[in-house]
Chain A
Amino acid sequence: MDNDDFRRGKPTNHKVFGKDIVVLAGDALLAFGFEHLAISTVGVKPGRIVRAIGELAKSIGAEGLVAGLVVDINSEGLTDVGLDHLEFIHVHKTAALLEAVVVLGAILEVGRDEDVERLRKFARYIGILFQVVDDILDVTKSSKELRKTAGKDLFADKVTYPKLIGIEKSKEFAEKLRSDSLELLQVFDSEKAAPLIALANCIAYKQN
């Protein structure tokens, strides 16, 4: 799909194992994720685990991750793509899974529905934030620093935040997302929320 040679500092899976194996590996990992969630979760009522499975399934399917990938693929080469369109891609491609994992934590720990929704929103913001920062870095950094192939977006003629609104506005948008996401966490105990606060900052200030 993206035809990438590098991922996470190593050659991509299909470069090492071949395209046929990589499809099966993806299928097996996806399946194992659900199996693991279903049988390895301890100390949680079955009803909550079932709800968590539903949440995870929704986030990676045609209403989540896959939707983002489809629209992303179909957008290559298009010149009249607006911010809404770009946001759709990132909400689904990146944020959906992040939302799911955050929400899963809340569901499994008997969180109140309003807190679950608050955390869902937090995750959505940092998901988009992740992508905005990624887009900025793709333009400003080298491959070595990024540990993946730099300049790919430009090469692939993909729509990115810097391309649509420029680097400076993208950085402003990133800062707004960071502060809005942290605001959502203010209702929670600051010690308990510390990891999530750190995560938001880590994403905002990442260098690769």
Chain B
Amino acid sequence: MVFSTVLTSVPNLYLTRKPKNIHIQIRCLSSPSVSISSQSNLTQFDLKAYWATLYAEITQKLEEAIPVKYPDQIYEAMRYSVLAKGAKRAPPVMCVAAYEIFGDNRLAAFPTACALEMVHAASLIHDDLPCMDDALERRGQPSNHKVFGDDMAILAGDALFPLGFHHIVMHTPPELVPESRLLRVIAEIARTVGSSGMAAGQFLDLKGGNTVDFIQEKKYGAMGECSAVCGGLLAGAKDDEIERLRRYGRAVGVLYEVVNDVLLSKSTEKEGTEGQEKKGKGYVRLYGIEKSMEIMEELRSKAKNELDGFEKYGDCVAPLYSFIDYAINRGFNVSDLSQ
């Protein structure tokens, strides 16, 4: 799933010039950034600081959203996955970043951002089940079903999906987001999870019979797309802007996964280990490293072009640009942000 793999060692890719960490002032954000540096023309948003702040806020809200009560076990199982230290919180951060292009009060976005993380966690729990991907580990810890058993893991996922919707309804201030818009957000998330989105992707991944591109888009692009779109919807962006965010989010989501694929294959190449069965349908396996890197550049360029359409919003778009760079360069380890 998009943003779901934590890489502890990150070999350099050198696809593009490595960006400098120049801080620029973001006038449209509600939380402060730092002062302008006059030196270079190459401005680069401090994604690490932005992500770290949001990481802390979202994690705290998630913690409060899932208190333990009777029957304790289900809440423990839900918390185990949602509050995993290895979680990157990419969907919520993407949602808030997209919101902040158009909106000026991130309180409007937080409940949806949290819901996206719950839904993301739910789909990972189910994907990892023995009857599906049969994964032993997730986010740097044993998979949910390994700790709580298959039944509890299935139910934890089943509980997290509706909790996301409930959380949005109960916590989104109606004075900040009109209910008609909230319905569009809910519909968007529901579509992403369902038979035309992630479930479709996972189904095809399990059963084969379709191109890797389709699978990647459905499985990995879906969450990126959904997060960006929800952010825009919450802030009242226009329809053509929403569609632009959709294409951007999808491209970044897939880009992230292609880069993961390339990095993983480069690192196993280095260590001389066997190829992984799991990546059987991955880009590298099907297209080879060189072609995969070309695809990476195409996706990077596509994502960037979509954002260029938001030129009139100036610096507010900086976080979304920096996601593209991060997908490729991985300038910092997101798991460090939880320290």
Contact = CB atoms under 8 A, between A and B. Distances in A.
Interface string B192-232: 01110001001100100000000000000000000000000
A42 interface: no
B71 A47 contact: no
Contacts, number: 126
Interface of A: 1, 18-21, 23-24, 26-28, 30-32, 34-35, 38-39, 45-47, 49-51, 53-54, 56-58, 60-62, 66-67, 69-71, 73-74
A74 B73 contact: yes
A-B CB proximity, top 8 nearest: A54-B169, A31-B194, A35-B190, A46-B179, A19-B131, A57-B166, A57-B162, A31-B193
A49 B178 CA distance: 12
Contacts of A26: 158
Given A46-B179, A54-B166, A31 B199 contact: yes
Contacts of B154: 1, 23
Interface in B146-180: 151-152, 154-155, 157-159, 161-163, 165-166, 169-170, 174, 178-180
A46 B183 contact: yes
A62 B75 contact: yes
A67 B152 CA distance: 11
B131 A23 contact: yes
A204 B193 CA distance: 38
Interface residues on B, range: 35 or more
A30 B170 contact: no
A67 B158 CA distance: 11
Contacts of A38: 183-184, 186-187, 190
Contacts of B194: 27-28, 31-32, 35
Given A57-B162, A74-B71, 15 more contacts: A20-B206, A21-B206, A23-B129, A24-B203, A27-B199, A34-B165, A46-B182, A47-B174, A50-B169, A50-B182, A53-B169, A53-B186, A54-B165, A61-B166, A62-B75
Contact of B71 (A34, A50, A60, A67): A67
Contacts of A32: 190, 194-195
A61 to B, nearest CB: 4
B187 A39 contact: yes
B78 interface: yes
B155 A69 contact: yes
Given A47-B174, A54-B166, A62-B74, A23 B126 contact: yes
Given A38-B190, A57-B162, A49 B183 contact: yes
Contacts of A34: 162, 165, 186-187, 190
B235 to A, nearest CB: 17
Contacts of B151: 1, 73
17 contacts: A24-B126, A24-B132, A24-B203, A27-B157, A27-B193, A27-B199, A28-B194, A31-B161, A35-B194, A39-B187, A46-B180, A47-B174, A58-B162, A61-B159, A61-B166, A62-B159, A70-B73
Contacts of A62: 74-75, 78, 159, 163
A58 B166 contact: yes
Contacts of A66: 74, 155, 158-159
B112 interface: no
B120 to A, nearest CB: 13
Contacts of A61: 158-159, 161-163, 166
A67 B179 CA distance: 29
A129 B311 CA distance: 62
Contacts of A46: 178-180, 182-183
B123 interface: yes
A71 B183 contact: no
A20 B131 contact: yes
Contacts of B281: none
Contacts of A67: 70-71, 74
Interface in B122-144: 122-123, 126, 129, 131-132
